[in-house]
Amino acid sequence: MPLKLLAIDLGAESGRVTLGILDGKKVSLEEVYRFPNEPVFLIKSLHWDILRLFYEIKKGIAISRNKFGKDISSLGIDTWGVDFCLLDEKDTILCNPYHYRDHITDGIMEEAFKFVSKEDIFKRTGVQFMQINTLFQLLAIKRKNPSLLNIAKTILMMPDLFNFLLTGEKLTEFTMATTTQIYNPSERIWDKNLLEAFGLPIDIFQKVVSPGTIVGPLFSRVAQEVGLDEITVIAPATHDTASAVSVVPAKETDYAYISSGTWSVLGTEISHPIVNELSLNLNFSNGGGIKDFLLLKNIMGLWLIQECRRIWEKRGEYFDYSQLTEIAQKTKPLGSLIDPDDIRFLNPIDMPSEVQKYCRETGQDVPQTKGEIIVCILQSIALKYRWVLEELEKIIGRNLPTVYIVGGGTRNTLLNQFTADATNRKVIAGPVEATTVGNIMLQAMALREISSSDEARELVRNSFRLQEYEPSNRGYWDDLYERFKRLIKISKPKEVIVRE
């Protein structure tokens, strides 16, 4: 009998409930339910609406049961990293989790380095420095609302929170723990010394478990609500990037991957953490993978396009992403560029205007049309990929001749081609639903239906269409890259204004 597995993937824009069916040779997917994941401003702070998300998760499970029957073997949840929820001694949720784009963490890293040096934090955690990391969020809460930490008895990362609400079991899955900048990947423990140095509570952190750990059955009340009393909850690689990378359809060992979506994550697989002066100076992360580690760097990805689209819709101009890509394909590039990771693009009031301001302030032609703005953004992202890829090769000491792109961003064929052109490497794109597929494969491995990640990748190659892109126009892109390198060295972060 085919094996039915349910993957729940929560992204920064939406959540999806997808049924995966394994027949031994292939895996097929059927999207069951999709729902928006919209943050909420609450008293000048940006939060995730976790009660709504939990309601939608249960609704998606119930729809799956009604459509496909009761013989669904398991479910697994994955989400973005870094964000968390605090519970008190009676397991009452103390507040809706802060959204990582909230400005509570503005300036917090500089304060943190007064107590513990940047070098010491990296030595202990091996994680890329971003103000959104869990460590800095906790320090910001301590600064702004210390009473929360005084009464908190449990911290649960986002997928761990929903696992707890479904089953009553508290744990933290390894790949998610490595996003916090509190977990020591070399010793595989929460870093007690780091927490003590910052005056943060230690006993609120949960036991860390491996990807593919069986969490348990549903609460009886939840089982009654969704109509499934036999289903098993499994913690896959709960960090969406780790799930996506676990099914990169590569046969070779020397390759780079890009998990492309709201964020882009570029990296490669490594056998052990690389924590040294070079990886610190180049600001890379040692993230958890399903077997080993992922040396990676976060890059501001299609968030910039998403926000442009949102602003244009606010003005009454409606486009889907394919229409925006088509507009860009018909536009002659101005050659204007931005640094996608400039802090001003983290959460501006008006993304198109912010792109124009950046170009104006750096002495470039200012893009005026929608097509010119989109081309500017996509070319800049592709050039940032090249910059990060060259840094990655310096750290590992070898070339990575092929780039695999997985995730929702693979639908953006123009960015895929720009990536091949900018990096002068062959690009292989797919599968689109890599995070969901990785989630499903980890469940199958936990249930011993698949023996290894190699078998999982073979199933992926047999099941999904992959698109190849060859590099072209090298001279043009090399010239553009030289200008890009000069640009990101001279540009300075600007103040970001909270969007009300």
Q: How far apart are CA 170 and CA 60, in angstroms?
A: 22
Judging by beta carbons within 10 Å of its beta carbon (0-12, 13-18, 19+), is residue 251 exposed, middle or buried? exposed
Q: How far apart are CA 148 and CA 78, in angstroms?
A: 26
Q: Phi and psi (nearest 5°) for 223?
A: -60, -40
| DSSP designation for 410 | G
Contact 243, 78 (CB under 8 A): yes
Reply yes or no on whether 240 is catalytic: yes
Which of 49, 160, 191, 240 is flagged as catalytic?
240
Q: How far apart are CA 18 and CA 78, in angstroms?
A: 12
With b for 16 or more beta-carbon neighbours within 10 A and e for fewer, the 407-426 pattern comes to bbbbbbebbbbbbbbbbebe
Task: Show the tokens assigned to 256.
Answer: 């780079």
Q: How many CB atoms lie within 10 A of CB 295?
A: 24
Which amino acid makes up residue 145? Answer: N
Contact 48, 83 (CB under 8 A): yes
The continuous run of DSSP H or E covering 190 comes out as strand 189-190
Q: Is the dihedral of CA 349, 353, 355, 357 positive or negative?
A: negative
Alpha-helical regions (H) of 129-264: 134-144, 146-151, 158-167, 174-177, 192-198, 220-226, 240-245
Q: How far apart are CA 277 and CA 182, in angstroms?
A: 19
The residues, any chain, with a CB within 8 Å of residue 59's CB and separated by 6 or more, are: 33, 35
Task: Sort strands 45-47 and 213-217 into parallel, antiparallel or unpaired.
Answer: unpaired
Short-list 440, 428, 336, 430, CA closest to 379? 336
Q: How far apart are CA 171 and CA 233, in angstroms?
A: 13
The continuous run of DSSP H or E covering 462 comes out as helix 453-463
Contact 30, 86 (CB under 8 A): no
Q: Which residues pair with 426 in a beta bridge?
A: 402
The continuous run of DSSP H or E covering 154 comes out as strand 154-157
Task: Sort strands 402-406 and 256-260 into parallel, antiparallel or unpaired.
Answer: parallel
Q: Which residues pair with 189 in a beta bridge?
A: 184
**Residues tagged active-site:** 240
